[in-house]
């Protein structure tokens, strides 16, 4: 992974999108697939604790970036490690790899890796309005994740029966994971590049480095992503309707209670 330069300004004007490297789908142990969520419970606990620390580091980093135009070095290094660890855990949860993620930030021997360049200068205005600017990407990321989880049982069953993830499902899942990673990197100010590439990359956008770099999606994978988005939108609409119904029902019940004594 290329190390950021902190002592000289960045002169490369080419926008770099945070990259995800995952090997091609291979055989997986059916027992670990069956118990995947249970096996990852310790990881989820550690990840939650680290996310609390990450929130504090992001707040400190936001003030630093606002005044200096760069994320402070300590914040960039810590958040980069957190993003890598988080991505490895989620890759395992999404059944992309069978190898259990280690409990550490630096894991160069793990098959799931990301590349970030956190030393780049940041636009102070974009830093100030980062939460507002991230809303569209947050919506897309939320819809993708909701849609993936809506069919997660089917995906889990397919991998369990076959003992591996089919290529089409692998590509679509990789697109979901990569967009989530890019959204997090943007939100944590590890990059100034707005999250892109929901539907993959052009075939010759860069030299092939892994199964996901470049991430070239077939027609089936793109169709799956559309299904995820549609299911995510439907789930969000159903949740909003349910919340509105509960609110109205609660209002009616409260009014009935208030009127009862005067009857």
Q: What DSSP element (H or E) covers 20?
A: strand 19-21
The two tokens of residue 222 are: 């793109």
Concatenate the DSSP letters of all residues of 110-151 into one string.
SS-EEE--TTS---HHHHHTHHHHTHHHHHHHHHHHHHHHHT
Handedness of CA 222, 208, 140, 149 (dihedral sign): positive
195's CB contacts (< 8 A; 6+ apart) are: 17, 137, 140, 141, 179, 182, 183, 186
More confident residue, 211 or 8: 211
Render pLDDT for 180-199 as a digit per residue (tens, 0 to 9): 999 999 999 999 999 999 99
- DSSP three-state, residue 213: strand
Supply the DSSP symbol for 210: B
Beta-bridged to residue 213, according to DSSP, are: 210
Kindly give, in sequence order, each residue whose CB lies less than 8 Å from that of residue 150, ignoring residues fewer than 6 positions away.
228, 231, 232, 235
Question: What's the mean per-residue pLDDT of the chain?
Answer: 88
pLDDT at site 120: 86
pLDDT for position 66:
94
Tell me the pTM.
0.86
What's the average model confidence in pLDDT over 6-29? 75
pLDDT bucket at 118, cuts 50 / 70 / 90: confident
The sign one gets for the Cα dihedral 118, 119, 120, 122 is positive
């Amino acid at each position: 992974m290329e190390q950021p330069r902190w002592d000289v300004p960045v002169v490369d004007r080419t926008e770099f999108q945070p990259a995800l490297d995952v090997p091609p789908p291979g055989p997986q142990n059916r027992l670990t697939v069956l118990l995947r969520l249970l096996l990852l419970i310790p990881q989820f606990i550690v990840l939650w604790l680290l996310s609390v620390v990450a929130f504090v580091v992001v707040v400190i980093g936001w003030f630093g970036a606002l005044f200096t135009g760069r994320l402070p070095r300590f914040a960039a290094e810590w958040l980069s490690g957190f993003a890598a660890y988080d991505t490895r855990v989620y890759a395992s949860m999404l059944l992309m790899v069978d190898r259990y993620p280690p409990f550490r930030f630096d894991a160069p021997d793990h098959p799931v890796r990301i590349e970030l360049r956190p030393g780049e200068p940041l636009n102070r205005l974009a830093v100030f309005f980062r939460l507002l600017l991230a809303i569209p990407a947050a919506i897309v990321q939320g819809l993708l994740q909701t849609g993936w989880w809506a069919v997660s049982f089917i995906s889990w069953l397919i991998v369990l029966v076959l003992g591996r993830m089919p290529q089409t499902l692998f590509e679509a899942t990789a697109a979901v994971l990569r967009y989530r990673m890019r959204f997090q990197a943007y939100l944590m100010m590890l990059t100034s590049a707005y999250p892109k590439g929901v539907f993959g990359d052009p075939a010759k956008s860069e030299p092939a480095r892994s199964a996901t770099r470049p991430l070239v999606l077939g027609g089936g994978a793109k169709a799956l992503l559309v299904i995820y988005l549609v299911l995510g939108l439907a789930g969000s609409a159903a949740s909003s309707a349910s919340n509105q119904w509960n609110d109205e029902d609660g209002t009616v019940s409260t009014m009935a209670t208030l009127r009862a004594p005067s009857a």
